[in-house]
Structure 1
Amino acid sequence: MDEKLRENLQSQLSEMEVLQSMFPNPGEIKFEDNAILATMSRFLDYGSLDLPPFLDFTVNLTMDEHKIEVSFNLSHEYPQAEPDIFIRANHLSREQHSRINGDCTKFVCELERGEACVYSILDWLRENHTHYADGPSESAPPRSQEEEKLTRLWIYSHHIYNKTKRREIVGLANELGLTGFCLPGKPGIVCVEGLARDCNSWWLIIKSMTWQKILCKAREDCVDPETFRKFENFEEIAFQTQGNRCNHMDMGELNRYLEAHNLQHIFKELFGIDGKS
């Protein structure tokens, strides 16, 4: 086993032990896989050809009578790499969600790599959450003709693993009436299509989350409204994957999926090479 991997996983287990002692009540910490800590311990004790999944969990906080969910995804490179984080609270508006997640991302970027930082992030949230709930709500600007047009955004991310983020990507798209798909894994690809104002609102919130790398690779504007939309709804898709962690994208399957929706031209825009089925 790679020594750096061992150090990282051991650090994650130690951090979880401290975190569980600080949040001992049922429901305060929720793991996506209840057996993940045991799986990581067995991997460290006995070794295995199969790496354990990434550590995916949510800390549920109650502050000023408000419930706040802080979702973490720790890759095998953490704490050498930044954690994936998403903050969600029902009392915050979309704009406030965007601000708090964006500012949290800036805070995380300033932290020293190699040090466990989950508690530091929770501590930052305790000190700063009231700034966002009490902030003035922004009035919606008048809609322009450009915002009323149909458009399609193609989003490329270094990876999409965090299950809370994935639910937010799908849920927000459905809430805004967008169609398209989310393909999680490494890399992660998202396509959203709909009114430009709704696509822009979706993108503003999604890009404010913590990401190792995320960008809008392409934007397609509508030419024929009757044939522009290529999808009937928005959903998460999955193909048979490859790699030790079963999380790497199958390029051929993606290309076939795009061909089936008459979107094969975008493959080169996303990856810089022609697609092959």
Structure 2
Amino acid sequence: MTEHSRAAENAAARADEREALSAIFDGISLTDEIVEASLDLDAGDDDATLFEPGDKAVLRFALSPAYPLDAPATASVAWATAYRVPSSIKDHVEAAVAAALASSSGDAAIFSAVAAANDALNEEAERHAAAYASWRSAAPPVTSRETIVWEGTELTRRLIYSHHIIAPSKRAGLRECAQILGVTTLVKIGWPGAICLEGPKDRVDAFVNHITRWRWKQLAVRGEQDAEERALPRIFLETSDMSTFAGHLRAAGLQELFLRLFK
């Protein structure tokens, strides 16, 4: 087979794939070299959903003249609001896309890659919803004891040390603050106590200002980080085990922040 005829076969295969994709997806952008497909995000105003209104993600493919028979497609995800998406979610989606492209070598790969990305997003959404439901079922009802007002979107983290977190009232109060403010809150109860917060700076500041007015034997902010994107999902988690608390931060790439707890 001549080089010219092989190039013609690749061009014909790309054209057939574009025709099929146009019939499957609404609003997909297609050329002979670039394909852009919007991904399905679980978005809503309720913190039970993984993404917020306005969050968007597009899977972008670059196709060489030798695609699909003799060269693979390359792909990347463009997040419209990347700072709100934890790195773990981005990594999961990108790994799913890479696996789909690898398994489709020598054949049309775009549909399977988009499907794999959406499946990965659906898995993350289900994981988030389950974690949210777990703490929400135990959260106390929102009271009107104080109105907390916030504005702005700058992202930040706080790591807080406490001599201990034992009292049911404090544990319930931390859940309530997380519910009202929509701030990621990881709590290590017992002796010592620790709290890690992540969210918009004004909300995190409101959280810290609120709980510092409670009666504590010792409470101190040991670590602060401003960030461009989330490392943790929007959930509340409580554990009595320090290694588990540290593990959550380590898995999110926040080992250095955790080490500030005892400095």
TM norm structure 2: 0.42
TM norm structure 1: 0.40
State which structure, 1 or 2, has the greater radius of gyration over its C-alpha atoms.
2
